[in-house]
Structure formats: structure tokens, C-alpha cells
């Protein structure tokens, strides 16, 4: 059996089935990169059982978190700030204390080449963002699960109102190499992680595997390199065509 390190994991988050398709493609891309680390996905109750079965084919561990935890002050404050809900869920990744170190990847990321060396970085490491005024992009970062940090982050999220802004305080290093979907031409072979930021998520495109025809999402348009979107689709398709039996995920857009 191949060497695996059980104490370290790549972690992603999906609060619904649409993002879970992203998690599926991301997880499969990590497997394709021959990672020696565990794969964990954090989900909320909205992710369906059918989708969880798909996720267990790729991920070692599925952790359900409660986005609206009952009695604490964080919960009460968040009820008044519903826009923080998704942010709140990302913070729950710090509860994965069965691992000593994790690399978080947004569900809209795709790993092109092995990135296990990210585990040599310390908490908190992240990549610079392309747009002002963000100082870093919270789509890829290195962290150490800890109940104490988790509590502190929740508190900060509530009082300061922003996950990114808050984490800046703990943030020490701008080091990860990350490329946004649009920048691929410039960085070419150096790119190891692609992050499909913005509205045009890969799962919103229509892709016909037989003809190779790609249709950008209606009303949004294409925002990413077409070859990268096709790559995303081919990875998802390979993993899930038996159960999905379609070249397009079935889901209802909100």
C-alpha cells in the first residue's frame, strides 16, 4: 500500500449539492495528483444523502457541521448577520482536530499538480489576492485545527464581521502559488492550483462530453479559460458518470 499520512488532510467545504460537485472534482483532482494526505470534506445538512455517497467515493472523511449552532453568543450575533453564514461554515474547519495540520481549498479549486509540499508551511499561510483591497485570497490556506482557535475565530467573525479581515491578524505569510482561472496563459506550466473565482463556476457551464461543446452559464457568461473548464468537467465525469448518468449535474438553481 502507498504511504499515507493520517494526521494531515486537504479540507474543503460544501454547504449544498452545487458546491459539492465542486468538491467532487477537487477531491478527484487531488487523488490524481497522488497526494499522500487524507481528504476531508465539511458539509452542512443541506447536502443530500445521494451526494454524500458520491463524496465518500473520493473523500476519506465527511464531517457534518451545524451552521447555526444553538446557544452560544456567536449564534445569536450571526442571526442578525445572515450574510456571514457561509463564512461561518469555513471557520468550522478548525474543528477537525483529528488532524494536526490541514490545507483548505475552496470547492471551486482544481489541483493540477501535486501540492503536498504546502504542508511544510505553517498556520496561517495563504496566497495574495488579485484585487484591491483584499490582502490575500481565502480560497487556499494552511491551518492547524484547534478548538481554541475555532472559538476565537467565531468571536472575531461576529465582532469584526469578516472572516478575511479577521484572519489577517493571524496571517503572517504570502507564499502559496495560486492561479485564478483567467491567468492560466501567463503562468502556464507552473500552475498547480486553479481557483475558479466569481460567478461562473464550472458546474454552471453546460458541457457535452461527446461533442466537446461548452456553453457558458446563462446570464453570467464565460469568465474562465475554456480548456480549464473542460478539464474540470472531464475529471468530474470520470468519477461520477455511473451514478449521475448524465454529462450535467442535476440540480435546481436558486
Grid cell of 41 as nine digits: 470534506
29 is a contact residue toward ligand UDP (CB under 6 A) = no
Give the C-alpha separation, 39 to 23, whole Å.
10
Closer to ligand UDP by Cβ: residue 80 or 253:
253
- Asked if residue 12 binds ligand UDP (CB under 6 A), the reply is yes
Nearer to ligand UDP by Cβ, of 74 and 181: the residue is: 181
40 binds, among ligand UDP, Mn ion, none (CB under 5 to 8 A by kind): none
- Shortest distance, position 108 Cβ to ligand UDP, whole Å: 4
> Taking CB under 5 A as the rule, does residue 129 contact Mn ion?
no
The mark string for 91-110 relative to Mn ion (x by CB under 5 A, - otherwise) is ---------------x-x--
CB neighbour burial string for 1-40, b if at least 16 within 10 angstroms, e if fewer:
eeeeeeebbbbbbbbebbbbbbbbbbbbbbebbebebbbb
Q: How many residues belong to the site for Mn ion (CB under 5 A)?
A: 3
Within 10 angstroms of residue 243's Cβ, the number of other Cβ atoms is 12
Helices (H) and strands (E) in the chain, counts: 8, 12
What is the C-alpha separation between 224 and 234, in angstroms, rounded?
16
Footprint (CB under 6 A) of ligand UDP, residues 182-201? 197-198
Site stretch for ligand UDP (CB under 6 A), options 9-17, 167-175, 213-221, 225-233:
9-17
Amino acid at each position: 500500500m502507498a504511504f499515507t499520512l493520517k494526521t494531515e488532510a486537504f479540507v474543503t467545504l460544501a454547504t449544498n449539492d452545487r458546491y459539492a460537485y465542486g468538491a467532487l472534482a477537487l477531491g478527484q483532482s487531488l487523488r490524481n495528483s497522488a497526494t499522500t494526505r487524507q481528504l476531508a470534506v465539511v458539509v452542512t445538512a443541506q447536502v443530500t444523502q445521494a451526494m454524500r455517497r458520491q463524496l465518500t467515493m473520493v473523500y476519506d472523511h465527511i464531517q457534518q457541521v451545524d451552521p447555526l449552532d444553538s446557544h452560544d453568543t456567536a449564534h445569536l450575533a450571526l442571526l442578525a448577520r445572515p450574510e456571514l453564514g457561509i463564512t461561518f461554515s469555513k471557520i468550522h474547519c478548525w474543528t477537525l482536530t483529528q488532524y494536526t495540520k490541514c490545507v483548505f481549498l475552496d470547492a471551486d479549486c482544481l489541483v493540477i499538480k501535486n501540492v503536498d509540499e504546502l504542508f511544510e508551511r505553517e498556520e496561517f499561510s495563504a496566497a495574495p489576492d488579485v484585487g484591491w483591497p483584499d490582502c490575500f485570497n481565502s480560497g487556499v490556506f494552511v491551518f492547524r485545527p484547534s478548538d481554541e482557535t475555532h472559538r476565537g475565530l467565531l468571536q472575531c467573525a461576529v465582532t469584526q464581521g469578516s472572516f478575511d479581515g479577521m484572519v489577517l491578524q493571524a496571517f503572517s505569510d504570502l507564499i502559496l502559488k495560486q492561479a485564478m482561472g483567467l491567468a492560466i496563459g501567463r503562468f502556464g506550466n507552473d500552475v498547480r492550483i486553479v481557483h475558479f473565482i466569481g460567478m461562473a463556476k464550472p458546474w454552471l457551464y453546460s458541457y457535452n462530453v461527446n461533442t466537446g461543446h461548452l456553453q457558458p452559464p446563462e446570464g453570467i457568461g464565460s469568465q474562465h479559460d475554456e480548456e480549464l473548464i473542460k478539464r474540470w468537467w472531464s475529471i468530474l465525469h470520470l468519477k461520477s458518470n455511473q451514478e449521475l448518468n448524465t454529462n450535467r449535474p442535476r440540480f435546481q438553481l436558486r
